[in-house]
Amino acid sequence: MRSLVAALLEEPDPGTAHDTFEQIWWRDIVDSLSALPALQNTGPARVADAGSGIGFPALPLAVALPTVRFTLIDASQRKLHTARNLALRANLANVDFVHERLEHAGRGPLRERFDAALARAMAPLPITIELTAPLVSVSGLVIVWRGRRNDAEERSAARAAELLGLECGEVIATDPFPGARSLHLHLFHKRQPTPPRYPRNPARIRRCPL
């Protein structure tokens, strides 16, 4: 793990506001690892990091779970370039990189290929699960990092989940770093295939969230 932190500190285009060892260690590494128990319980072989950015949460989890294959998917070639550099510095052999919008990835060869999908620092819950559910196979798991709980958002997410073939699971409070407040992991279980019409096109998703 420390090699990831060192690599990010030395990266000329880090793509993060965290610029000290302590900030990166707690707010990126440890926060990413908060999903480790949920992944260990499901025993996935293939995990997608949806909207991976520069590689968190996937890269720390790839270090912790060397037998699991992680695929980082992001629309930004610049961010994926940083993620590749970090993976190389950490000698990670269990990671792949896909330069693609999630709306397109969920309709192409990556559809329902993964045992789990991760989404950290993305959109509101209904939008996030519309973009991640199509990537996950039936009986798979979606894990979403969120902050303070919002009843209205969670009700909307429950309605969206039903349309997407998901079932709302546990909401786990996390305390990954000193001073953390109201952080949660939202778990969704894939119970049936996501209907072919999802994910919708980007404009439609933004204009009319499920």
Compute φ and ψ for 95, nearest 5 degrees.
-130, 145
Choice between 10 and 101, residue whose per-residue pLDDT is larger: 101
Structure tokens at 128: 């996030």
Instruction: Report pLDDT for 122.
Output: 86
Mean pLDDT of all residues in 87-114: 96
Q: Which residue has the higher pLDDT, 171 or 20?
A: 171
- pLDDT at 172 (0 to 100): 95
Residue 162: give its domain's CATH number: 3.40.50.150
Q: How confident is the model at residue 9, as a pLDDT?
A: 85
Least confident of 12-26, 48-62, 193-207: 12-26
Structural domain that includes position 146: 2-207
Number of structural domains in the chain = 1
The pLDDT assigned to 14 comes to 65
Could you give the percent of the chain with pLDDT greater than 70?
97
Model confidence at 186, pLDDT cuts 50, 70, 90, reads very high
User: How many whole angstroms separate alpha carbon 39 and alpha carbon 206?
Assistant: 30
The continuous run of DSSP H or E covering 48 comes out as strand 46-50
What are the b/e assignments for 18-35, b being 16+ CB within 10 Å?
beeeeebbbbbbbbbbbb
Mean of pLDDT values over 16-25:
76
In the numeric block, the tokens 């305390």 are attached to 175
Q: Note the pTM of the prediction, 2 decimals.
A: 0.94
pLDDT of residue 56 exceeding 80:
yes
DSSP code, position 115: E
Q: What's the whole-number average pLDDT of the chain?
A: 93
